[in-house]
Amino acid sequence: MREIPFAIVFDMDGTLFQTETVLVPALHKTFDRLRREGLWQGDTPVGKYLQILGVPVSEV
């Protein structure tokens, strides 16, 4: 049996594809859960996360 190559691409800065299409729904889901568990109050800080897309880690 022939082995199928497997790869995972991490593109958290939006270089290869529009990360926000995955990031925004994931943020809402995550912060909804944090609110239910009493670990976060207020709106989901989507804007803060969108500001750091494409920014080098050293600047974040």
39 falls within a domain: yes
41 falls within a domain: yes
Give the mean pLDDT of the chain.
86
Answer for the pair 34, 43: CB distance below 8 angstroms, yes or no.
no
20 falls within a domain: no
21 falls within a domain: no
Provide the domain count of the chain: 1
User: At residue 15, does pLDDT exceed 90?
Assistant: no
**Domain encompassing residue 58:** 28-60
Answer for the pair 31, 44: CB distance below 8 angstroms, yes or no.
yes
Give the position of tokens 């995550």. Answer: 30
52 falls within a domain: yes
10 falls within a domain: no
User: At residue 11, does pLDDT exceed 80?
Assistant: no
User: At residue 1, does pLDDT exceed 80?
Assistant: no
Per-residue tokens: 15: 């270089």
17 falls within a domain: no
pLDDT of residue 41: 98
pLDDT of residue 48: 93
